[in-house]
Structure 1
C-alpha cells in the first residue's frame, strides 16, 4: 500500500475496510508506529489532542500486523482514541470566557466512519456514542448515503440498523426539544429586575428592567430565528454556548441578570446532554428493534480483536470535597459542573423514591401487610391495600415535585404553543 499525501478531510480514509491482519506495512504505518514507540519509551504523555483520529486508527491497524504485532502499542492507541472521542460534555462545549468556536464540528465525516468501525471491530464500544453524536449534529447528516456511495474504492455501509434507529431518534428529538426551547423567552427575562426592589441605585435597576423587556419583545425575531437556523437546529448543545456568550450586558442587563441567564442555559444544557446520552446509548431505546443478526457485512473483517484482551476503560469519576461539593477542575465551566451535579442528585433522589414505592406495593400485595401512612394515622386514609398503594404513589409524586423545587422559577424554560413567527 503506497503512502498517500496529507489526506483531504472530505475524502474517504484509504485504510477503511483494512482491519484484517496483514503482512505489508505502509510508510505511514511505520511512521506512526515509531512515534508511538518513542512516546511510550520516554513516558512523555503528549495528550490525545496531538494525535489525529486517522493516525490512531492507522496505529491500531499497524500494531495488529504480523510484522509489527504489539499489544502494548495497540492498547496505547486505544487509550488515546478513547480520550479523543470521550463522552464528555466539556469536550463539545466552547469556552465560557472565549469566543464561540467557529468550527461547529471538530471531526470530519471520515473521522466518524473510522471511529465507528474501530468501535465495532477494535473492541472499543465506549467511543461509539460520541461518534454517533458527532454524526447527529452534522448539517449534512443525510449525505452519509451519498458519501458512502461515492467512496473510491467503494465501501460497505458503516451503520447498523440499531445505530440508524438511534441516530434518527436522537436527531428528531433534538430538533423538537430545541424548537420548543427557543419558542418562548426564558423566565429570567420576565418582569422587573430582581435588584429593582433592593438596589441602592434604582436608576441602574430600572435600566436593567427596561433592557429585559426589550430583549423579551425581540426574543423571537433576534434570538429565536437565529437559534433555529440550520447551524443550530440539530446542535442545541453548542447553540446554548452561543446563547450564553451573547452580549446581554451590551443590551443593558445588569450583571446579576446576565449570570442568572447563563446559569439557566447551563441547566438546560446539562439536561439535554443527559437525554442525548440515553437516546444514543441506553438499551431501553432498542426495544422496538430485534437483535441485529450477523450479515455478510459483519464478516468483512473476521480478524477483529479477541475477547481475552484487557478492555480500555477511562475513569471519569470527579473528585468530591469534604463539604460534598464536586470539585471544578482547571478549564471547566463551574456553572456547568454545578448543573450536572444537581441533575445527578435529582436523579438519585427520584430513583430512591421509585424503589421505595415499588417496595411498598410489593409488600402490600404479597404479604398483605398494612403500611401506616400519615393519612391513616390521622383517620383520613384508607385501610385497604389499594389505598395504601395510592398513598405511596402520591408520596412519590410529591417527592419528585419537591426535587424540582430546588431550581428557581426563573430558570424553568416552559414550552407553550409555538409562536407564529416560527410557522410563518
Structure 2
C-alpha cells in the first residue's frame, strides 16, 4: 500500500534558523538520477560502512577603502565615512569606518536611531576608526564624529544610514536537527527562505566536518534546497558539525543571509534492510551482520516499488492511509477505503512505507505482491522494523525493475553515483 498519511509522527522535524520557520522536508522541483550501483553486496554479511522577494532596492554591497568615493571636505578637513551619508540597504556585514585625510579623529559615536551604541577601535595614529560590533538588519544608524588638524581646526559631522530591510533578509533551516542522532544514510538538507542565485558564495559559507574525517559535496535540488552527503554513508557512531556563516552573504536577487549558526548531529550504528523482490524477503543487517529475515510483499506491476536506496524519513505507530492522496478516486480499480495501518515507517515523499500488511494481505508475504508500492510485513516484522530503524537508516530495494528512486522523492541521494553528485555545475 502506498499513501500519504494522517497520524502522530514518531520523529522528523525541521530546525528553525534566523527567525522564520522553514519545512525541513519538502518535495523539490527537479532532480538528476542515475542507475543505482549495487553497493550493498549480495551475501549474508555486508560491510558496516557501505560505499555508496523581489525588491526595488539595489543589491547591498559592503563598502571598503578599495571602492571608496572621493574624500569629503569640511572646513578644510578631508575624510571618508563608510557607509555614505544617507545610504540605505546597507549590508549589516559592513564594518562602518571613518578615515581622516591629513588630520586626526578626536571622537566617534555610532549608535542606532534608538540610542544603542556600536563600539569600535581607533588606529594608533588616530586616523582610522572602525566599528567592531556587528550591525543589525532593518535598523537606522547615526554616525557622529569630530576631526581636527595640526593647526587646531576642528569639524563635527553627523551622518545617517540604514541597513537591509526585512524584505531582503534570507534565512534557512537544516535537517537533521541540532543535537539529534540519526542513521548513517542521512544526507544533510538545507532549505532556504529565498532562492539562492549565487550558489558558490553560499556553499563557501557552509563548512561540514565529521569526526570520521569524511568530506562530501553539495547537490542542489532547486534554488531553495541543497543536500550534502559524503561519498560513502556516514561512519557509524560519528559526529557531524555544520558551521553556517551566512550573515551578510549575498544570495543574489537582492537577498542577504541573516544568521550564523553551528549545528551538530550524530550517527548511531549501521542498520540496513535489504529487500529483494525475487525472494520476497527482507534481510536486516546490524553493523554488517545478518540479524533478522522477514517475508514481505511489495508493489504490484501497476504500482511497483522503486529499487535503490531509501532512507527512513519518519515513523508512525498508527496512521491512516487514503487512496485519494495518491490520486485514486472511488470507482478506480485500485481504490481502497481509508485504512488504519500499524508501525508505518515512511521511506518516500510519494507515499511508500514499510508497514504492517493488512490481515487480508498476510498470505501474500513471501509469495506475491499486493501493495501500492509499500513494503508490507507481518505484525512482528513491522514492529521489529519500527523499533529498530529510525530516521536516517537505510532500506535497499532490489529487483523490481522500476526506478531507481528519485533523489527528490525522499532522500534518494545515494542512488546518484558520486561522480555525478560531486560534479554538479
Give the TM bin, normalised by the shorter chain.
under 0.3
The structure that is strand-richer by fraction is 2
Larger Rg: 2
Q: Which gives a bigger RCO, structure 1 or 2 (Cα 8 Å, sep 6+)?
A: 2
The structure that is helix-richer by fraction is 1
